[in-house]
Amino acid sequence: MSERSLTDSRGVPQLARLTARKREVLGGERRRQILGAALRVFARRGYDGATIEDIARTARLAEGTIYNYFRSKEDLLIHIPRHMAGPLFDELAARLPEASTPAEAEQLLVLLGRAMMERLTANVRFVKVFLSTLPRLSQHTRKEYARLMPLRVVGMLEAHLRQGVAAGLYRRDLEPAVAARAIPAMFMFMVMQEVLLGRPPVPFGHDRIVEQTVRLFLSGALAPVPPAGTQPQYATPIDGG
């Protein structure tokens, strides 16, 4: 094998390049391993009762290994929501380019809503711990969480909405920056009520809640304006009449 074949076009040794890539992959796997263990420990023991030692033991790693990836218990806590949402982010990124018609936009937002609600309710014990702990964390840590968590999904949605406005899919007067934050917030509010109250806020399943929320966003709550000279039609009589 020639010396040239051992380097890439920039003269970087291929062996070193492959090794760096392998380190990156292994580092990502190790972070996910640690965050998965931390999620389980926080859910089981609460924030105050959890220790780095507990998390290392659950992850089957040396305690010092944790500090190679995370600075502290606070740092671990604020990275978990993004870890939980990782598959959602990936699927959303894959599906966004396909949403170019009203039906596809509705399917996309229903997918987002169902995934958000499923992830949150499946990890309800951790969610309770997180909500009760976040206000007690340092201001720096809370700012770091605000930077970490919302921006990826919000950024993807905002870009999609801007493209949809330009293509005529969405209304010209829609403000994508507001709408991209309002959509996840509607789902989050429903789940937070269920978490805090211990029961669904309305007597419907998650699928029905998501579908109604998406339709409300896409179509609004007002009935279509009837043609002049006709009476509006209602699904049920008003005032029992």
CATH of domain 73-219: 1.10.357.10
Q: What is the pLDDT of residue 4?
A: 45
CATH class entry, domain 15-70: mainly alpha
List, for the chain, all residue ranges whose pLDDT scores fall below the cut of 70: 1-18, 149-151, 224-241
Domain residue limits, the chain: 15-70, 73-219
Q: What is the pLDDT of residue 204?
A: 81
Locate 166 and state its tokens. 């330009």
Q: Are 118 and 206 in contact (CB under 8 A)?
A: yes
The overall pTM is greater than 0.85: no
Q: What is the pLDDT of residue 11?
A: 57
Q: What is the pLDDT of residue 235?
A: 43
Cα–Cα nearest to 215, from 185, 183, 192:
183
Q: What is the pLDDT of residue 52?
A: 95
Provide the residue count of the chain: 241
Q: What is the pLDDT of residue 16?
A: 55
Q: What is the pLDDT of residue 231?
A: 57
In one-letter notation, the amino acid at residue 48 is: D
Tens digits of residue pLDDT in 106-141: 988 898 888 888 888 888 889 889 988 999 999 999
Tens digits of residue pLDDT in 142-157: 888 887 765 677 888 8
Q: What is the pLDDT of residue 50?
A: 96
Locate 62 and state its tokens. 């040396």
